Amino acid sequence: MSRAGRQLALLLCSCCVAVAVPGGLAEEGCPAEPHQASHYVAAVYEHPSFLSPDPLALTSREQALELMHRNLDVYEQQGAQIIVFPEDGIHGFNFTRTSIYPFLDFMPSLRSVRWNPCLEPHRFNDTEVLQRLSCMAMKGEMFLVANLGTKQPCHSSDPGCPSDGRYQFNTNVVFSSNGTLVDRYRKHNLYFEAAFDTPLEVDHTVFDTPFAGKFGVFTCFDILFFDPAVRLLQDSKVKHVVYPTAWMNQLPLLAAIQIQSGFAIAFGINLLAANIHHPSLGMTGSGIHTPLKSFWHHSMDSPEGRLIIAEVARNPPGLVSAGNATGKTDPFHRKFLQLLAGDPYSEKDAQDVHCDAAPKSTTNASPTFNSEMMYDNFTLVPVWGRDGHVHVCAHGLCCHLLYQRPTVSPELYALGVFDGLHTVHGTYYVQVCALVKCGGLGFDTCGQEITEAMGMFEFHLWGNFSTSSIFPMLLTSGMMLETPDQLGWESDQYFLKKRGLSSGLVTAALYGRLYERD
């Protein structure tokens, strides 16, 4: 066993950790030894960071370092072959451009400099945080990914140089197991972060490891945009992504663990996601997500941080498939295929809502209605009864649901569609098909944030999406993630199939992004 492995085994059995187990939700315990050739041990830490009591106030470098070292003291207790820490975990948030300055480390250009901050601490000024992180990586013999604020002087001859003569960036740094600073990524898609600048060019940061090959790097809000997230994955050798985030949950579609899991499944990669832990701000939800299963932590009750450890495959198997693989043996899937083929007999006893470019109904129509969900005006149709087929359309997108229920719970569910530009807390174009549990029995409660549900479903959810970037989302009662049974394209329709939910359904969604329409 390597030194990192020995340290990991000894350390993690004595602290609060969540170890990946079959089934998904991380449980406390100790991880197994990795299969040397095919797997590696990854860790992410959801950190309840110490925050500045007044982030708008001016302070000294010494005072800033005092707070940051308190957070780094916690970081130093963790370890794995590779570990990821959250965005804003060292310095905090809600600063102004001026008040964050004492918290910033100087970042040299890594194109021209090879540097081990732990071994060369005096090479550059104002690099105390980088030095400490470097020493952690070297001591633990582990790759380490952390987020901090950095500064870079610029000259007036630079047309992009801010008036105060420096760039300030929200930066992820990557250290190798010998403490060398091997790469950095500067966040491109800032989320109301007045303290930081957007880099003039997008960083497409990829680093190599001896245990798993190439890893990509991006931060928080970046996950919703083409650059850098999707462009990084156009390199087929990038099978893993490290992802520091400070994500505020928003149900029913964008809880942290929902988008993390959906991204990993959609792109067939492993995503190592570390979120900050401040439940009072709605900030929780971290995980190690693979295309076939996720190991996660989400807690709005506990004030404690959580270390999640999982054995991860070097070459993650994909879930998304092309074409039908089960239609000949699964009667429920055969009915889905008959609907796609326009077989009128398959519509017997189904509820249906007529819309352009959708199959004609053979039964009475259910009422459509509109309700706000995620600040967007969704068009919805109620999902009633023990079984049926409903569909609803908006603009060019038609969403369908074929479902069976063992029992009908006293709850309202609805199938919703949205095809348009989202403009609140960011501007980006989405196509969404979503089966949601409503907050009450009234249509106007559909789209509200809920976390508990009783309704059990077996279903196919599908739509005629105009994009291939579609994130599948399955969330059940108590913020439990589920993995689709089958996912992919069939007759120009993208579908999700699921049977055997572990608990009541909160949300089942296909969340599509049309980057070119942003």
Which active-site residues does the annotation give? 87, 187, 220
Helix-then-strand count for the chain, H and E = 6, 27
Please answer whether residues 496 and 261 qualify as being in contact, where contact means their C-beta atoms are separated by less than 8 angstroms.
no
Alpha-carbon gap, residue 20 to 53, rounded angstroms: 35
Structure tokens, 503:
């608990």
Q: Is 479 left (phi over 0), alpha (psi -120 to 50) or beta?
A: left
Q: Which of 453, 360, 455 is nearest to 403 (CA)?
A: 455
Helices 3-12 & 128-140, crossing angle to 10 degrees? 100
Question: Could you tell me whether strands 306-313 and 17-19 are parallel, antiparallel, or unpaired per DSSP bridges?
Answer: parallel
Query: What sign for the dihedral angle of Cα 444, 447, 452, 455?
Result: positive
Q: Count other C-beta atoms under 10 Å from residue 481's C-beta.
A: 24
Q: How far is CA 306 from CA 78, 263, 275, 323, 344, in A?
A: 10, 22, 10, 40, 53
Q: Given phi > 0 = left and psi -120 to 50 = alpha, else beta, which region is 110?
A: alpha
Contact 269, 248 (CB under 8 A): no
Would you put residue 192 in left (φ > 0), alpha (ψ -120 to 50) or beta?
left
Whole-angstrom Cα Rg for the chain? 24
Provide the 8-state DSSP code for 229: I
DSSP track, 166-196: EEEEEEEEEE-TTS-EEEEEE-SS-SS-TTS
* Residue 275 token pair: 């979120």
Residues 6+ apart with CB under 8 A from 36: none
Tell me which H or E stretch contains 244.
Answer: strand 238-245
Which of 461, 491, 465, 489 has the alpha carbon at shortest distance from 473? 461
